[in-house]
Amino acid sequence: MARISNEQIMEIRNSVNIVDVVSEYVPLVQKGKNYFGICPFHDDHNPSMSVTSDKQMFKCFVCGVGGNVFTFLMEYEHISFLEAVKKIADKVNIALDIGPTYRKSNSHLSKYYEMYDLSMKFYQNNLNTASGKEALDYLKKRDIDEEIIKEFNIGISFMGDKIYRMLKANKYNDEDIVESGLCNVNDKGYYDNFFNRIMFPLHDINGKVVAFSGRIYNTTDSSKYVNSKESPIFKKSQMLYNYHRVRDSVRKTGQVIIVEGFMDVIALYKVGINNVLATMGTAVTADQARLIKKMSSDVILMFDGDKAGNKATISCSEELQKIGVTPKIVRLEDKLDPDDYIEKYGLDKLKEHIENPISLIDYKMIVYKEDKNFKNSNDVSNYINEVIKELKLVKDNIVRDLTLQKLSDETGVSLTTIASLLTKEENTEKKTIKVVKTTPKKVDRYQKAYQGLLFYMLRYKEVIRIVDESNVFIPSKQHRYVACEIVSFYEKYGQINMADFIAYLGDKKELVDIVNQLFDLPLPEEYIREEIDDYIKVLNEYTINLEIKRLEEVLKNSNSDIDKASIANKIMELKKGVDNNG
């Protein structure tokens, strides 16, 4: 990897205005000195993200995401620090070489990424050979043309050990090749894990190939799809098919559609619907839900119309609701998947569905009703209670009223009774929330002191000097690291500037997070010398108390009377020091 100097990074940061860069992604409105916009990192309805031109920082006051222009790009585009620097450099025409083999701070994984990339190209190339013709014809029959083959990097695997030999020729060792999941070994030797299958590469959220799904095409005596097993670079729970491709179309439509498999994504892409992600299965994880939310909080779930699809819809909507997103639902008739649906009913009918998704509560009412017999009063009671539990999560008053009315119409139970059930359910809810709220987060005086010191160190070089000379000990390890980094930044550049300092921290995400937390502490911008001295005093007291505790421990375990006397003496001296201090 080519080394880029801190000076270069700062020059690049200074060559753009964060307000201009952020407004390419999020519309900003100026209010006073700052700019505000809808935060892209949480489900925001009021502009909670502020961007300051004089500090060259951004910050969301709700979800807490913040930093400089590089942090914004890293978060928004899911790219590494160096990739963010490169992006800005390209924008302002500063030549910068971040190295061709650079992989997001996981350099020990780069060999796996490379092996997958090589294999993808190998499979793609196979498709253009004479032996690939049968597969190519099969794809064409399924309306997968050249353009789609290219866009989705589709290829074909052949029998034998061709991938193994190709990887060996590229100087990878046997152990790594097997670990990658591309090949395996038995008593006859090494062999490829995928053979005679049409190969669909699966990319991670950064667009790197990390796995394959192989589909049969010229036989029926094998399972239809075989997927890569988890590997050092492939974690199924963090994978969403098509994630790296949809950003632009999601930005255009404001909406993201979630489907079950990658063939659904391709089927929709064929007809010009591009804002689609696939969960690659019916169980949706919390990680996947968070990624979906990051993309857009306007979510449509369009899983297959069968039982498994129902289950997936419920599980996915639960994960999304936990993080504040209520998805809308499209159910396709006749238990069809999107591809078959378009075949049977045509594109227009599908589009009509997408434009008119049903609300989650309406969908759940349909599902809950399915196994109920309304002539049985127990079933009616269960049904009403199930719906009420869902309704509690709905904030829209109109939807609530309409649903209560609908419930009453369907079941013949009076509206008053049903409404009172909802009130009761909500009151129990409120009680539980109250209990949670009575335990406020405790910020002790030591924490207040070191946070205060760092807050002003990030703003005033005089404070850096005072703190550095005081030799004060900061009890939190991460905050101590930040303080050290501030001091070395200042020693190097003779000044302090938060946006440059964050650039200086680069990929050290935990430290950047701390700086962001410090950014908007409710403290006055100007510092008072006495206050700084107070902070230092408080922290010194902490150190002394720590030493007293340690000595008391030694005292307890000591057998010699002389030692005991001397330790007791030391403790007394220290205690005096604390008293004088305070």
Q: Name the burial class of residue 92, with classes exposed (0-12), middle (13-18) and buried (19+) by CB atoms within 10 angstroms of its CB.
A: exposed
Looking only at residues 139 through 198 of this chain, which bind Zn ion when binding is defined by CB under 5 A? none
CB of 42 or CB of 197, closer to Zn ion: 42
**Within a 13 Å sphere around the CA of 49, how many CA atoms are in the beta-carbon half?**
26
Q: Two tokens at 257?
A: 């559609």
CB-CB contact of 380 with 411 (8 Å): yes
Cβ at position 58, least distance to Zn ion in Å = 10
Helix (H) or strand (E) holding 210: strand 209-215
Q: Tell me the one-letter amino acid at 352.
A: E
Nearer to Zn ion, 43 or 386 (CB): 43
Q: Which two tokens stand for residue 423?
A: 């009130």
Taking the complex as a whole, how short is the minimal distance between the CB of residue 47 and Zn ion, in angstroms? 10
Lookup: tokens for 440: 């406020």
42 belongs to the binding site for Zn ion (CB under 5 A): yes
Candidate ranges 35-43, 336-344, 489-497, 556-564; the one touching Zn ion (CB under 5 A): 35-43
What strands, in cross-sheet order, belong to the sheet with 276-278?
276-278, 256-259, 299-301, 328-329
Q: Which is nearer to Zn ion, 41 or 158 (CB)?
A: 41
- Of the pair 35, 341, the CB lying nearest Zn ion is at 35
- Please state whether 30 falls in left (phi above 0), alpha (psi between -120 and 50) or beta: beta
Question: Using the rule CB under 5 A, which residue among 26, 28, 39, 512 binds Zn ion?
Answer: 39
Rounded to whole angstroms, the Cα distance separating 151 from 157 reads 18
Q: Which is nearer to Zn ion, 67 or 214 (CB)?
A: 67
Characterize the bridge pairing of strands 189-192 and 256-259: unpaired
Let me know: does 144 contact 154? Beta carbons within 8 Å: yes
Q: Which residues contact 436 (CB under 8 A, 6 or more apart)?
A: none
- Is 26 one of the binding residues for Zn ion (CB under 5 A)? no
- Cβ of residue 41: shortest distance to Zn ion, in angstroms? 5
Cα–Cα distance for residue pair 215/140, rounded to 1 Å: 15
Cα 218 to Cα 212: distance, rounded to the nearest angstrom: 19
Site residues (CB under 5 A) for Zn ion, limited to 373-402: none
548 interacts with Zn ion by CB under 5 A: no
The secondary structure element, H or E, covering residue 117 is: helix 110-126
Of the pair 62, 286, the CB lying nearest Zn ion is at 62
Scanning 40-48, 328-336, 439-447, 541-549 for contacts with Zn ion by CB under 5 A, the matching segment is 40-48
CA within 13 Å, CB half, 432: 4
In angstroms, the CA 406 to CA 361 distance is 11
Least Å distance between CB 254 and Zn ion?
17
- 76 counts as binding Zn ion under rule CB under 5 A: no
Residues 6+ apart with CB under 8 A from 481: 511
Residues 396, 359 contacting (CB under 8 angstroms):
no
Pick the closer one to Zn ion by CB: 42 or 293: 42
Distances (CA, A) of 286 to 43, 66, 200, 211, 290: 16, 23, 25, 21, 6
63 counts as binding Zn ion under rule CB under 5 A:
yes
Beta carbon of residue 447, minimum distance to Zn ion (angstroms, whole number) = 24
Q: Which is nearer to Zn ion, 48 or 288 (CB)?
A: 48
Q: Is 123 in the site for Zn ion (CB under 5 A)?
A: no
CB of 39 to Zn ion, least distance (A): 3
Does 323 participate in binding Zn ion (rule CB under 5 A)?
no
* CB of 67 or CB of 452, closer to Zn ion: 67
Compute the distance between CA of residue 307 and CA of residue 311 in angstroms, rounded to an integer.
6
Shortest Å distance, C-beta 25 to Zn ion: 13
In whole angstroms, the minimum distance from the beta carbon of 298 to Zn ion comes to: 16
Number of chain positions touching Zn ion (CB under 5 A) = 6
Q: Is 41 helix (H, G, I), strand (E, B) or coil?
A: coil
Least distance (Å) from Zn ion to the CB of residue 102? 29
Query: Does the protein bind Zn ion through residue 41 (CB under 5 A)?
Result: yes
Closer residue to Zn ion (CB): 36 or 303:
36
Closest contact distance (angstroms) between CB of 59 and Zn ion is 9
Nearest to Zn ion of 57, 301 (CB atom): 57
Which residues face 57 on adjacent strands? 52
- The piece of 9-17, 39-47, 222-230, 254-262 that touches Zn ion (CB under 5 A) is 39-47
Which stretch in 33-41, 240-248, 344-352, 398-406 sits in contact with Zn ion by CB under 5 A?
A: 33-41
Smallest distance, Å, CB 48 to Zn ion? 5
Taking CB under 5 A as the criterion, the residue among 57, 60, 85, 407 binding Zn ion is 60
Query: Which range of residues in 5-13, 53-61, 426-434, 551-559 is near Zn ion by CB under 5 A?
Result: 53-61
Count CB atoms within 10 A of the CB of residue 343. Answer: 13
36 binds Zn ion (CB under 5 A): no
Indicate the angle between helix axes 498-505 and 509-519, nearest 10 degrees. Answer: 160
Residue 516: CB minimum distance to Zn ion, A: 12
User: Per CB under 5 A, which region of 62-70, 217-225, 545-553, 556-564 contacts Zn ion?
Assistant: 62-70
Residues paired with residue 401 on neighbouring β-strands, in sequence order: none
Tokens of 152: 């989705």
Q: Which part of the chain contacts Zn ion (CB under 5 A), choosing from 63-71, 116-124, 361-369, 392-400?
A: 63-71
Q: Least CB distance from residue 212 to Zn ion, whole Å?
A: 36
Binding positions for Zn ion, rule: CB under 5 A: 39, 41-42, 60, 62-63
